[in-house]
Structures are given as C-alpha cells and as structure tokens.
Chain A
C-alpha cells in the first residue's frame, strides 16, 4: 500500500512536467503576443517590452524559468492584470470557484441521494420514473442553457435572485450559479444511488435486518444507505473533473470572478504566466485528488489491493 502511494506520488511529477511543457509549447506556438493588438507598437516600445518580460532571451532560458516557477509555485506577474502576481490572482479567485463548486456538490448530494433512494424504494412507481426522467433531463440540458433559463425565470421575471455577479460567499448571488452547476451532479448521483440501493436492498444482510424486526426506516437509513452509497463515493473522483469544466461555463454565464473565468480570459489575452499558473494549479489539484480517490478505494472496498 505504501509502495503504491509512493509510486503514484512519483508519477505525479513527470505528469505535471508534461502538462506544463505542453501548455508552454502551445503558448509559444501561438502566433502573436500579449501586446499585439489592433494598434501596431513602435519597434522601440516592443523591444522594451520584450526586454522587460525576458522574451528576447533564448528559448531554453525562458523554458527553464517557467519550470523553476512551477517548482517553487511562484508564477511571477500577470501580463494583462498589471501589478498583480499570478499567485495573488489564484488566491483571490480560488475561494469563489471553491465556494461555488462545494455548494453545488453539497446541494447535489442532498437532492441526488434523496431522489435516488426514493426511486429505489418505490421501484417502477411514478416516483421512480419521475425522478429518473428528471435525472435524465439533468444530464441532457447543457449548463449554459440551464443557467440563462434560470436567470430568465428567477431573476428577470420573479426578481428573487441577482442575475449575475458575485457578492461574497453566503449571499443570494450564489444560489442560481450553484443550482445550475449542480444539475448534472444531481442527475448522476440520483442514478448511482438508485442502482446502488437496488442492488443492496436485494442482499442477504438487508433481509436479516428486516427479519430481526427493524423498522423500514432503520433498515434503510442504517443499513442499506451505507452500502448503497459506495458508487456515489467513487463518483467523487470524476466529479472534480466535472466541477472544473462546469465552473468554467457557470462562471462565464454569471460573470463570476472565479478561477475558470480568469483562465478563459488568460487564454484569450495570451497572458502566459497566468495560463501556466492556472494550468499548473488545476493539474496539481486534479492529480492529487485522483490519488486520494484511488487510496480511499482501498479503505472503502477491502477487496481492492494494490
């Protein structure tokens, strides 16, 4: 087990290296530069800019600097947002994205598990078909369609929530974005819970629990749920990948100052340090999270040995 963890940690480093290098090559292959705009700069100013940002140095010097920056997790200054370091931007935008993602996931857990459990308990009833149809809708409606539709209904017609922008964490402004983001999780979690519960409810230990006279409520809450939720736990790994792509869109739809929104802007602006910084940050998060999920499998399911 320890050897497995060590091996996986060692693999993370070359992977991070590959991701960062690939990103850097893409940034460099791209035509133009962050300062190329509609107006052509005088050559003297362009030279000064190149001098200032070290763009006139040979490529291997610049490449080494990028790797060194990633290694010590200090990405230098943003090119577009003058006077702000990439690290400052990261730590400012991360709480927004994290609050959004966690609220959405929490909401999805509650709604999804409730829906899935009810559907499994009343299999083939209208409740079952109803929740599964809603779940299928959740998978099928893209979040960039759902978000604006929710805005249309709840902000522009009913005036319940603000249509966009961010007012700090516990505020009305998080409701619609979190709801939009959670739709697909609700769907997946409901489906996973339902199939997990159906399997567990047929197992022997549930029959034993019933036979010893427990109430249906005790059987479900104390025995069945624990086993039936295993697939939901293992879903949390891929869920993070969803979360990252999801927040990119939702932050864009609701104009939230989160990591994803800045990332897209950085790509369009060719803001090299910011692109490298965000990509490296996301890559590290995803890689570590995947590792944690793999390790947790061994604890959840004793049959898995590494």
Chain B
C-alpha cells in the first residue's frame, strides 16, 4: 500500500554516481568559459542499457499503450458510439449486465467488448476512464511526493549539522506512524463535498505520506556530493546557496530519484485503488480502477467480468510499471545489475 519504504532493494549507492557530475560540471564550465559544453553520455548509456532489457522494454510498451488508450480511448468511444463511461441506456431491456461481446438478444456483438455493468454501462469505457483517474492520481501524488521529498532532503543534506539532525529525526518519527490508519480516518470522516475536491484530497493524502523515503534518498545523495570540487567551484564563482542546491546538486542526484519515483507510481496507484476499494477514494460518478474492482467484487458470483476486466487491466499496469522501475534501476546503476 503506501508503505513503499519496505522496498529495500538496493537503490543506487552514493559512491556509484560518478559520471553524473558531468551535468553540473557543464554548468560550472558554462559559468567560467561562457561556452555551452556538449552533454555527457550518461543518460544515453542508461537508455541503451534500458533498451537491452527486454522485460523493461515490454513494460514500457504496455505502460504507453494503456496510458494512451486511457487518455484518448473514452473520446474515441464517444465519437464512435455516442456513449461515455457514465451513460445509462434509455431502453429498459438493456439495464442489466451483459457478458462480453453479447448483444441483448444473446448473440455475438461488437458493442460491448468487456460487457456492461448492472445498469448497462459499457465496461470498456469505464475501464479506460478509470485509467485516466488512476493514472492522474498516481502521477500527481508522485509529483507532490517528489516536490516535498527533494526540497526537504536537499536542504537537510546540504545544510547539515543540527538542522539535518532535527529534520531527519522528524522523518524517523513520521516513518513509524501508522499512516494508512490516519489516512483512512481522514478520508472517512472528512469526505470532500464534490468528487473533484475528493480527488484533490486524495492527491494531498497520498503525496503527503509517500515523500519520506524520497527525502532520505535525496539527503544521502546530497551529502555525498556536497564536498565535491564542482560545488566548491560553484561557491567560489559566487553562486547562491539555493541555486547550488537546486541547479548543481539536485540534478546530480537525479538518477536514484528517478528510479524511486518510477517505483512510487505503482505504489501510489495501489494505495489509491485500496482506498477506493474501501469506498474512501474516488467517488461516483467518477470511476477509478480501484472503485471499478470494488463494484465488480460485489457482483462476482454472477457477473465475473465486472471484476476481471478492471482488475486485470490494473494488475497489468502495475506489473509493467514495476518492470520499468526495475529496468531503470539496473540501467542507471550497472553495479547492481550483476545480481
């Protein structure tokens, strides 16, 4: 669930970040000579390594496919057939759950490839619209956690000393809080007025609980980088502290951050689904993969397709995202790849 800190597969060790200095060195070089220096090949190398990993490429393909389908699918369905994820058929005979590829008269039909739900709404359209919401929640909550985690970790790591002690102590304390419990209480007792406001509450709640590990990773990276010569050079040329942190140090720490962010996306997506399943997340008329699965689970015995399609789509997405995350980690950190 939100307990992404349990993922203790090794992230990039601080001493392995060597070639990434190039980015900020370029910045310093730019300051000194006024010339733009050609970029390093680190990212290109990593990209090549990533492409060699078949599972990761397969994962990327599925992720892109599902993402594109979710973004443009509902519009296409609406253009082609006129219905959306929430359109209930006018004809009373159609107000029931049809099996995949079945027309009301029981014969084969292309109208609903994934069947319909209890009120005759097309499940394909619902799964795709649900994908939009699930992806959006996952991306925005991950961005929130990135924003908080990077700022917090970078400041703690760069300033150091007492401030660092205090800031990391706070993180330690927050780590041991049973977060999910508090999030459940928050969402159950203070449901937002509108479905849109509810989404905002979800972004906030999920983002706010998943930045801790990010802060730790960034801090570790910054601590190992801040005594490097290029920082000294930047300081010597009179670059301000915020600029050193965010222009010189943070870009050099990006490798592990990207890897961790890629792994945060599926974990946040799972948390959203978990909350929606409990009836605390996305509310009708909006749908997400989690709320669709919750609906489907109730009608499992008679209409199993109501659960299977959203459930399997979601599992496929999570599966692929995890493979991409693993692949990215291996690509950005060749040291761990041998294992």
Contacts and interface: CB of A to CB of B under 8 A. Distances in A.
Contact of B1 (A149, A235, A242): A242
A69 interface: no
Interface stretch (A46-54, A132-140, A296-304): A132-140
Given A142-B314, A149-B311, A239 B6 contact: yes
B1 A195 contact: no
B180 A140 contact: no
A246 B308 CA distance: 20
A15 B278 contact: no
Contacts of A198: 339
Given A139-B322, A242-B1, A245-B274, A26 B190 contact: yes
| Chain B interface main SS type | helix
Interface string B93-122: 000000000000000000000000000000
A241 interface: yes
A62 B68 CA distance: 53
Contact of B6 (A11, A26, A238, A244): A238
Contacts of B124: none
A136 B176 contact: no
Contact of A142 (B9, B270, B296): B270
A161 interface: no
B322 A140 contact: yes
A96 to B, nearest CB: 18
A257 to B, nearest CB: 17
Interface stretch (A37-45, A100-108, A214-222, A279-287): A279-287
Nearest to B277: A144
A152 B311 CA distance: 13
Contacts of A156: 300-301
A132 to B, nearest CB: 10
B277 A249 contact: yes
A282 B185 CA distance: 13
Given A142-B311, A234-B8, A239-B6, A279 B181 contact: yes
A141 interface: yes
A235 B190 CA distance: 33
B76 interface: no
A249 B274 contact: yes
A31 to B, nearest CB: 8
A245 B180 contact: yes
B293 A145 contact: yes
A86 B180 CA distance: 21
Contacts, number: 146
Given A29-B190, A195-B339, A140 B266 contact: yes
Contact of A136 (B190, B300, B323): B323
Contacts of A26: 182, 185-186, 189-190
Contacts of A140: 266, 315-316, 318-319, 322
Given A27-B189, A142-B270, A195-B339, A188 B6 contact: yes
A154 interface: no
B307 interface: yes
B176 A235 contact: no
Nearest to B326: A136
Contacts of A89: none
Nearest to A269: B188
B311 A286 contact: no
Nearest to A290: B176
A144 B339 CA distance: 32
Nearest to B298: A148
Contacts of A22: 182
A144 B316 CA distance: 15
A174 interface: no
B6 A152 contact: no
**Among B10, B300, B314, which residue has the most Cβ atoms of chain A within 10 A?**
B300
Interface in B293-339: 293-294, 296-297, 300-301, 304, 307-308, 311-312, 314-316, 318-319, 322-323, 339
**Among B186, B297, B301, which residue has the most Cβ atoms of chain A within 10 A?**
B297
Contact of B307 (A136, A137, A149, A290): A149
Interface of A: 11, 15, 19, 22-23, 26-27, 29-30, 136-137, 139-142, 144-145, 147-149, 151-152, 156, 163, 188, 191-192, 195, 198-199, 231, 234-235, 238-239, 241-242, 244-246, 248-249, 252-253, 263-264, 267-268, 270, 275, 279, 282-283, 286-287, 290
Given A11-B173, A19-B177, A148-B307, 11 more contacts: A23-B182, A30-B189, A141-B319, A142-B274, A142-B277, A142-B314, A235-B6, A238-B5, A241-B178, A263-B181, A286-B178
Chain A to chain B: the 6 pairs with minimum beta-carbon distance, closest first: A238-B6, A145-B311, A267-B188, A30-B189, A140-B319, A140-B318
